[in-house]
Amino acid sequence: MMARRWRSVCYLSILLILAGCGFHLKGHHQATPNLNGLFVENAENRQSLAGVLQRDLRASGARLAASAAAAEHRLSLSEVFKYRVLSVDENGKALEYELRLKSNFSVVDREGKTALPDQHLELVRELTYSGTDELGRRNEAKLVRGDMRTDMADQIVRRLQAQLN
């Protein structure tokens, strides 16, 4: 009986500490009104950075423009993935890769004036492999690329919220 009470007190203490420190699960950002009327160019491919960014903006509550002509601001961005081998085994098979995602983006307003000058972001991840599972290697690289796009989209949203008027 005493052990059960002690355990309950411990659980309650942990919950109070977590609630008091401001901890919360990661979720979508709440869009600021300055993102309403934004049009993301080249977002037709939902797997691309532009597609992921458009999905995140909509999920956060931003009202995006349906076309470039109806937009208050137009966001254009580019993405480039690069691979680099970091280490190889005795047979010359790559064991470790570096994966880079580079993105440039800018925003212009309806009149074509620069609302946000060209911005450059870069993410780097390292992938380590055992050297035997080729299918697993491809799947892991695909998952990491998707995670990198999501992280990059989050960074772009934060910059847009902070710098667009």
In a domain, 34, yes or no: yes
pLDDT at 114: 92
Instruction: Give 1's pLDDT tier (boundaries 50, 70, 90).
Output: low
Determine which of 26-30, 121-125, 145-149, 154-158 has the lowest per-residue pLDDT on average: 26-30
- The identity of residue 119, as a single letter, is Q
In-domain check, residue 114 = yes
Q: Please tell me the distance from the alpha carbon of residue 123 to that of residue 149, in angstroms, as a whole number.
A: 9
pLDDT at residue number 22: 64
In a domain, 14, yes or no: no
Does any domain span residue 18? no
The length of the chain, given as a count of residues: 165
Note the pLDDT of residue 8.
83
15 pLDDT exceeds 80? no
Full domain range(s) for residue 47 = 29-163
**For residue 101, is pLDDT > 90?**
yes
CA of residue 45 relative to chain centroid, distance:
16
Asked if the structure places residue 147 within a domain, the reply is yes
For residue 23, give the amino acid letter: F
Domain containing 63 — which CATH number? 3.30.160.150
| 139 lies in some domain | yes
Predicted TM-score (pTM) of this structure:
0.77
For residue 161, count CB atoms less than 10 angstroms from its CB and return exposed for 0-12, middle for 13-18, buried for 19 or more.
Answer: middle
Nearest to 99 by CA among 39, 53, 142, 159: 142
Domain contains 52: yes
Nearest CA to 99 out of 161, 145, 137, 63 is that of: 145
State residue 74's pLDDT score: 94
Helix 49-59 with 134-163: angle, nearest 10 deg: 60
Domain presence at residue 75: yes
Please determine, for residue 126, whether its predicted confidence score (pLDDT) is greater than 70. Answer: yes
Quick one: pLDDT at residue 98?
Answer: 93
pLDDT in tens, 128-157: 887 667 667 778 888 999 999 999 999 999
- Measuring CA to CA, how many Å separate 65 from each of 58, 70, 131? 11, 6, 47
Number of domains making up the chain = 1
As beta bridge partners, residue 105 has: 77, 119
